[in-house]
């Protein structure tokens, strides 16, 4: 029974708990047992919330008995450890916050809990969400459940690994330049980034405030839609939250793509990715057409500048946001002879190499004499990228392109910053434009030198505030192709 419970979808779990055929406590206990069995290998969680999960689950059972119709009743979730949850250790994968206890709960997390979700633990991530592989965490190593010698993707790698390894049904991640979509692709999941401002950032510890967006990782589009419906909506506590009605998505998932025009980006050719990746994406585009979509070529001429633009804007905002971690107000403090020395020692000991690198880049880009040449120019290019998307969507309803340039790679395979930054090539343009985008499993390939087939993700994107269209199309593709069901990670591992 326990094995079967943890492999149910979130929608199936919620329906079972609402019907009374299983209790939320039973689901939580089975999930926690799974964590104890396998997380020693996968390292999905930095903190496992045993008592909190069981207490929350008991509360859900009480609410169900009282007649509440909870859309996520008893659904176990992994919460990325850059989101606050009252009374829990919230670290951002950094030594500077290693012992910090959150005094409040992020709005997105609170809304998931209000819908009946049960938090299993705080999931590992690249330090302050800065990375594409989850290798930058200062507090733990997270491994891909499909091949533990490979990375799970980042920065939301812990949430992705937890869902892929059946240590949660849904994971909460944050996406700044691809940090939900890339681990989704690497771990055979739906990784969904909503429109910027659609889900409140209140309680999300900021990396780049004009880009950060919370979204779900799930084993099905239906589960991603349920999570989005629970989280989305205006929040007075977030100045960037959009005060606009939200269309429910979970009840509007479509079965085919008839009548849709899907744009294939001229500048995002796949031949350069190698024969195997090229074949996977060629087949994916053919499947879209087979399901009734009309494929049209569109152009994003400024997309090639996305990586350079992002790695000026995001570090600049990071430099500003992380100035608060100075050893005075909260987090790590390393003493010194004066305040300046305390600042220097605290930040030197508390921040890892990638965080320091981005702070330095951002501070330089914002400095006197360089602001106009770098940061201001990057913002102008960002506007051009958004305008390119607007023109492209005049010719199509959705855009399809790769989610990543390769399958999950081995640890330390991309040990120079340039190679790692290029991992975001296909995901950054959508983030700069604030568009909703997701990764959906589209096939498998065995990497060069590897022995295990690894999942590949297709990225779909749509105009601002068109989450219903995007999720509906992804569901049709997912149900017709069933790539995610082709293989499962090991169901039992001796930790």
Question: pLDDT at position 489, please?
Answer: 86
* Residue 368, CA distances (Å) to 208, 322, 363, 374 in order: 21, 19, 10, 11
- SS3 (DSSP) at 86: coil
Cβ atoms < 10 Å from Cβ of 378: 20
Question: pLDDT at position 490, please?
Answer: 66
Structure tokens that stand for 375 in this block: 């940061």
- SS3 (DSSP) at 330: coil
CATH class, range 2-259+397-486 = alpha beta
Helical ranges in 213-305 per DSSP H: 221-231, 275-290
**pLDDT by residue for the chain (495 residues), tens digit each?**
678 899 999 999 999 999 999 999 999 999 999 999 999 999 999 999 999 999 999 999 999 999 999 999 999 999 999 999 999 999 999 999 999 999 999 999 999 999 999 999 999 999 999 999 999 999 999 999 999 999 999 999 999 999 999 999 999 999 999 999 999 999 999 999 999 999 999 999 999 999 999 999 999 999 999 999 999 999 999 999 999 999 999 999 999 999 999 999 999 999 999 999 999 999 999 999 999 999 999 999 999 999 999 999 999 999 999 999 999 888 999 999 999 999 999 999 999 999 999 999 999 999 989 999 999 999 999 999 999 999 999 999 999 999 999 999 999 999 899 999 999 999 999 999 999 999 999 999 999 888 899 999 999 999 999 999 999 999 999 999 999 999 988 654 443
Query: Which of 417, 382, 369 has the alpha carbon at shortest distance from 312?
Result: 382
Q: Using CB atoms within 10 A of its CB, is residue 115 exposed (0-12), middle (13-18) or buried (19+)? A: buried
Structure tokens that stand for 251 in this block: 């009840």
φ, ψ at 77 (rounded to 5°) = -125, 150
CA distance 8 to 10: 7
* Residue 189, CA distances (Å) to 8, 142, 239, 487 in order: 14, 16, 31, 12
Yes or no: say if 270 and 402 are a contact pair by the CB < 8 Å rule.
yes
- SS3 (DSSP) at 150: strand
Structure tokens that stand for 352 in this block: 């890892």
- Catalytic machinery residues: 80, 155, 179
CA distance 63 to 73: 9
Q: Using CB atoms within 10 A of its CB, is residue 21 exposed (0-12), middle (13-18) or buried (19+)? A: exposed
Yes or no: say if 199 and 240 are a contact pair by the CB < 8 Å rule.
no
- List, in order, residues 6 or more apart from 34 with CB less than 8 Å away: 2, 6, 165, 166, 167
Q: Using CB atoms within 10 A of its CB, is residue 283 exposed (0-12), middle (13-18) or buried (19+)? A: middle
CA distance 384 to 363: 24
Question: pLDDT at position 488, please?
Answer: 86
Structure tokens that stand for 446 in this block: 């065995």
108 membership: H or E segment, kind and range: helix 107-114
- Tokens 């296909």 appear where? 426
CA distance 124 to 414: 20
The domain locations on the chain are 2-259+397-486
Question: pLDDT at position 495, please?
Answer: 39
445 membership: H or E segment, kind and range: strand 437-445
Question: pLDDT at position 451, please?
Answer: 87
- Tokens 């569901």 appear where? 475
Query: Which of 472, 331, 312 has the alpha carbon at shortest distance from 380?
Result: 312
DSSP, residue by residue, 386-417 = HHHHHHHTTT-SEEEEES-SSS--BTTTT-SH
DSSP, residue by residue, 15-70 = HHHHHTSS-HHHHHHHHHHHHHHHHHHH--EEEE-HHHHHHHHHHHHHHHHTT---
CA distance 478 to 474: 6
* Total residues belonging to the chain: 495
The phi-psi region of residue 74 (left if phi > 0; otherwise alpha if psi is between -120 and 50; otherwise beta) is: left
Question: pLDDT at position 377, please?
Answer: 97
Through-space distance between the first and last CA atoms of the chain, rounded to whole angstroms: 21
């Amino acid at each position: 029974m326990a094995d079967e419970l943890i492999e149910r979808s979130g929608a199936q779990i919620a329906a079972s708990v609402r019907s009374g055929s299983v209790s939320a406590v039973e689901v939580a206990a089975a999930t926690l047992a799974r964590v104890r069995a396998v997380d020693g290998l996968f390292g999905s969680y930095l903190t496992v919330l045993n008592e909190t999960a069981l207490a929350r689950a008991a509360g859900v059972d009480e609410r169900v008995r009282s007649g509440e119709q909870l859309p996520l009743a008893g659904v176990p979730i992994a919460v990325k450890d850059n989101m606050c949850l009252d009374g829990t250790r919230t670290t951002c994968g950094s030594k500077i916050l290693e012992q910090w206890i959150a005094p409040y709960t992020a709005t997105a997390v609170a809304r998931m809990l209000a819908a009946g979700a049960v938090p299993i633990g705080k999931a590992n991530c690249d330090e302050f969400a800065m990375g594409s592989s989850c290798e930058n965490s200062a507090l733990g190593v997270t491994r891909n459940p499909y091949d533990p010698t490979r990375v799970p993707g980042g920065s939301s790698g812990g949430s992705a690994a937890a869902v892929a390894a059946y240590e949660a049904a849904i994971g909460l991640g944050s996406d700044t330049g691809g940090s939900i979509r890339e681990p989704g692709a690497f771990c055979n999941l739906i990784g969904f980034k909503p429109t910027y401002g659609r889900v409140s950032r209140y309680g999300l510890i900021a990396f780049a405030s004009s880009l950060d967006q919370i979204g779900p990782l799930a084993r099905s589009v239906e589960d991603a839609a349920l999570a989005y419906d629970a989280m989305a909506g205006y929040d007075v506590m977030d100045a960037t939250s959009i005060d606009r009605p939200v269309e429910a998505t979970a009840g509007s998932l479509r079965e085919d793509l008839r009548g849709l025009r899907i744009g294939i980006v001229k500048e995002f050719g796949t031949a350069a990715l190698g024969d195997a990746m090229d074949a996977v994406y060629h087949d994916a585009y053919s499947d879209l057409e087979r399901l009734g979509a009309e494929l049209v070529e569109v152009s994003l001429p400024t997309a090639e500048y996305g990586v350079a633009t992002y790695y000026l804007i995001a570090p600049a905002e990071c430099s500003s946001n992380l100035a608060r971690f100075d050893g005075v107000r909260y987090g790590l403090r390393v003493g010194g002879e004066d305040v300046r020395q305390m600042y220097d020692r605290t930040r030197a000991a508390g921040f890892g190499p990638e965080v320091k690198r981005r702070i330095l880049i951002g501070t330089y880009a914002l400095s006197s004499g360089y602001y106009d040449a770098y940061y201001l120019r990057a913002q102008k290019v960002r506007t051009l990228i958004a305008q390119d998307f607007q023109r492209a969507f005049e010719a199509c309803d959705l855009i399809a392109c790769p989610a990543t340039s390769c399958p999950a790679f081995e640890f330390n395979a991309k040990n120079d910053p340039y190679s790692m930054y290029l991992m975001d090539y296909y995901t950054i343009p959508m983030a700069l434009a604030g568009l909703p985008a997701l990764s959906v499993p589209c096939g498998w390939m065995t990497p060069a030198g590897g022995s295990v087939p690894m999942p590949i993700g297709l990225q779909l994107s749509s105009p601002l505030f068109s989450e219903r269209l995007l999720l509906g199309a992804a569901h049709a593709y997912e149900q017709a192709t069933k790539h995610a069901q082709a293989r499962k990670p090991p169901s039992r591992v001796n930790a």
